[in-house]
């Protein structure tokens, strides 16, 4: 029996430790543990990669969402529209600003926010929309940007799972007024600890975020407003610069594995999200939709295949957000997706043998259509 993890970060380190350790040593030798030249270098390189004028390195993706919203002027009494099918951080950032999260259901074909439902949720208090590029699949941005222009509402992309993805040939991170990235270790571009970034072409947003991440300072010990400690560590900048050089190759590998899975699972009795032909999904997760998920998980585990669920409960059914007052049944498409979704192993170093083994295991478990 093979043992196949959902993600293999140990193998990734084994392939690059001889580059990583000298880079970490450089940070120690220079004692640039917080921000410093590696972080500044990463900001330039990641901004270029995304095609944005500005990139502000931060301590996490959650910090990037928070500062992105604050930079757009979101404050107490405002409303921000987003999806219930996301990691809680997307919605927490809205709460941190004192604003109210307003949720709308997903398009079950993509698992992303359904742009057709957004207009109906707009009120005079709506200040921003956060589309999430879930699993690395770009949200349908054109109709969202059209609504944003018509109502003068800002758009903050949650690109935490979508480094290098493209929407109509443009990179995510450059589509909205600003975008939040996470470099949590398991992400497609992962740090060796926590990390995040805000990308934008808007100078005012960049200026605000640069000051806000370091206690509102515009010069050393010159605090223009009350800010945060959201700075990136030097080690993370050093690691991310090295990993960014490999991101194209890793992304191609992810997309190739996804194509193989789709071919091998074509006749399987399961559902999958749809890829728009003009977009490039970067497969942060490869998800399938199955009936009787607990049995499928158990049978795959018996075959040594690790799985995970992203996510088992939509935001509106989490205890943390019961106060929003969205009872079960409010967002039936998100609820159904959360009941059936299952992530199967996909990571750049996966061998053909491992891919075949997982696909065969899934096919045996769920049967044919």
x/- letters, 193..212, toward ligand PLP (CB under 6 A): -x-x----------------
DSSP string, 240-277: HHHHHTTHHHHHHHHHHHHHHHHHHTTTBS-B-PPPPT
Rounded to whole angstroms, the Cα distance separating 7 from 141 reads 29
158 binds ligand PLP (CB under 6 A): yes
Tokens of 207: 């200026």
Q: Could you tell me which stretch among 68-76, 105-113, 154-162, 253-261 binds ligand PLP (CB under 6 A)?
A: 154-162
Q: Cis bond leading into 311, ω under 30°?
A: yes
189 binds ligand PLP (CB under 6 A): no
Nearer to ligand PLP, 60 or 200 (CB): 60
Rounded to whole angstroms, the Cα distance separating 26 from 13 reads 18
One residue of 7, 50, 56, 89 binding ligand PLP per CB under 6 A: 89
Give the torsion through C-alpha atoms of 86, 87, 92, 94, to 10 deg.
Answer: -30
What's the min distance (Å) between Cβ of 86 and ligand PLP?
A: 5
Nearer to ligand PLP, 54 or 184 (CB): 184
Q: Give the footprint of ligand PLP on residues 21-80 (CB under 6 A).
A: 60-62
SS3 40: helix
- Element housing 28 (H / E): helix 9-30
What's the min distance (Å) between Cβ of 29 and ligand PLP?
A: 28
One residue of 153, 160, 265, 282 binding ligand PLP per CB under 6 A: 160
Nearer to ligand PLP, 193 or 304 (CB): 193
One residue of 42, 54, 87, 283 binding ligand PLP per CB under 6 A: 87
> Is residue 98 a contact partner of residue 77, using CB atoms and an 8 Å limit?
yes
Tokens of 172: 């995510």
What's the min distance (Å) between Cβ of 177 and ligand PLP?
A: 17
- What count of other Cβ atoms lies within 10 Å of the Cβ of residue 320? 11
Rounded to whole angstroms, the Cα distance separating 369 from 362 reads 13
Residues binding ligand PLP: number (CB under 6 A) = 15
Q: Which residue is nearest to ligand PLP (CB)?
A: 61
One residue of 32, 83, 182, 199 binding ligand PLP per CB under 6 A: 182
110 binds ligand PLP (CB under 6 A): no
Give, as one character, the DSSP assignment of residue 274: P
- What count of other Cβ atoms lies within 10 Å of the Cβ of residue 306? 16
Tokens of 217: 């300072």
One residue of 82, 83, 85, 86 binding ligand PLP per CB under 6 A: 86
Radius of gyration of the chain (CA): 21
Nearer to ligand PLP, 132 or 359 (CB): 132
Note the residues at the interface with ligand PLP (CB under 6 A).
60-62, 86-87, 89-90, 132, 158, 160-161, 182, 184, 194, 196
């Amino acid at each position: 029996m093979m043992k196949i993890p959902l993600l293999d970060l140990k193998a990734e380190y084994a392939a690059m430790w001889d580059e990583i350790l000298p880079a970490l040593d450089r940070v120690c030798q220079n004692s640039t543990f917080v921000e410093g030249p590696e972080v500044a270098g990463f900001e330039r390189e990641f901004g270029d990669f995304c095609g944005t004028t500005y990139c502000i390195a931060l301590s996490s993706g959650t910090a990037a969402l928070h500062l992105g919203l604050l930079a757009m002027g979101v404050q107490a009494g405002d409303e921000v529209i987003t999806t219930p099918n996301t990691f809680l951080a997307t919605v927490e950032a809205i709460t941190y600003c004192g604003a109210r999260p307003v949720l709308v259901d997903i398009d079950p074909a993509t698992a992303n926010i359904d742009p057709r439902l957004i207009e109906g949720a707009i009120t005079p208090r709506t200040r921003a929309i956060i589309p999430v590029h879930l699993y690395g699949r770009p949200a349908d941005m054109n109709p969202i940007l059209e609504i944003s222009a018509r109502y003068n509402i800002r758009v903050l992309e949650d690109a935490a799972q979508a480094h290098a993805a493209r929407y109509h040939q443009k990179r995510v991170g450059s589509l909205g007024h600003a975008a939040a990235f996470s470099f949590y270790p398991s992400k497609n571009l992962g740090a060796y600890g926590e990390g995040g970034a805000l990308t934008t072409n808007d100078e005012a947003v960049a200026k605000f975020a640069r000051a806000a991440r370091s206690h509102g300072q515009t010069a050393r010990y010159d605090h223009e407003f009350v800010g945060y400690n959201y700075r990136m560590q030097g080690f993370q900048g050093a690691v991310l610069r090295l990993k960014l050089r490999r991101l194209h190759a890793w992304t191609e590998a992810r997309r190739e594995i996804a194509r193989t899975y789709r071919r091998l699972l074509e006749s399987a009795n399961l559902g999958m999200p749809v890829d728009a032909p003009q977009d490039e999904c970067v497969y942060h997760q490869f998800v399938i939709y199955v009936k009787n998920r607990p049995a499928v998980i158990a049978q795959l585990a018996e075959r040594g295949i690790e799985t995970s669920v992203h996510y088992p409960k939509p935001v509106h059914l989490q205890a943390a957000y019961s106060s929003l007052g969205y009872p079960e049944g409010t967002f039936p498409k998100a609820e159904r997706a959360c009941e059936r979704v299952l992530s199967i192993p996909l990571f750049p170093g996966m061998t053909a043998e491992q891919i075949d083994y997982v696909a065969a295991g899934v096919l045996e478990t769920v049967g044919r259509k």
